[in-house]
Amino acid sequence: MDNSSESRTSCDNPLTSAGNHYPDCVGNLAALVAPTPVPAPVAAPARARTIPGLRPVAIWVGLAGLLAAVAFAGCGGGSPASSPTLTAVAHATVTAAKPSPAPAEFSPTGSMMDARGRHTATLLQDGLVLIAGGYGNSDTSLASAELYDPATGKFSPTGSMAHGRAYHTATRLSDGRVLIVGGLDPSGDIPVAVAELYDPATGTFSPTGSMVTARGNHTATLLSDGRVLIAGGDDGSTTLASAELYDPATGKFTPTGSMTTAREDHTATLLPDGRVLITGGLGGLTAFASAEL
């Protein structure tokens, strides 16, 4: 009896054939791949090598999968010319760890012409920065002002204010001018109501209307309609809840609604919907967590 057909039939599906036919299948594969035996040269036993990060289990699973693929292709009954070509690829990718971003650093730039604190710094439309007022080393508020140029890193003098002041506010208006409001006079004790405008085109300050109430440590917020909201502060004797509006078109201040809490050294932020958020501040020696709109 010819058993070749039975053996071939059992190899057609290695996944369902009985285990005792598997050697016949491998034999058929050997006959297909190398019909004429060639004596193999005697070689020294290969030394086992360890590949970092590759476990022995992964090696055996990979070899078993490759052997199964070869056996399946060889047992399909095709001739060596029509047998598929198997290509083994070893591919590894080494990814270097991303370096941490360097921390932000400060670097020196030019120095101001006058030492000062409690001054204001306002970015102008041309990119220069207006520095105005503040306390000098003589403990007297200054009327001087200067400009910082980021392109050169240098400060240069500009026109002086009519009144020395500290604890004031400086707000860039829609037309590019800067509104200087209130603050403490040169003695450092008395709040002032006077305001003035700085014109970058001429480099000079000019007077404008005075506030309804003298104040320092207040806030000044440019509103969506171009007016400026002045809120809170200290009038020299008490903390204020009052607020007023400056209109650049008329150069005048007018009263507006008061805050629910009197406060100074607070913050005022224009929101996208046009409202102004007032937060924190001080009332005497008491700090607040409250906020209002």
Report which of residues 218 and 83 the model is more confident about.
218
DSSP string, the chain: ---HHHHHHHHS-TTTS-GGGHHHHHHHHHHHH-SS--PPPP-PPPPP-PPTT--HHHHHHHHHHHHHHHHHHHTT---GGGSPP----------PPPPPPPPP-----PPPSS--BS-EEEE-TTS-EEEE--B-TTSSB---EEEEETTTTEEEE-PPPSS--BS-EEEE-TTS-EEEE--B-TTSSSB---EEEEETTTTEEEEEPPPSS--BS-EEEE-TTS-EEEE--B-SSSB---EEEEETTTTEEEEEPPPSS--BS-EEEE-TTS-EEEE--EETTEE---EE-
Query: How does pLDDT run across 58-105, given as a tens digit for each residue?
Result: 433 344 444 444 344 444 444 444 444 444 444 444 455 667 777 889
Report which of residues 113 and 10 the model is more confident about.
113
pLDDT band at 30 (very low <50, low <70, confident <90, very high): very low
Query: How does pLDDT run across 253-283, given as a tens digit for each residue?
Result: 999 999 999 999 999 999 999 999 999 999 9
pLDDT of residue 188: 82
Please name each of the domains of the chain with its CATH number: 4-37+54-82 (no CATH), 120-259 (2.120.10.80)
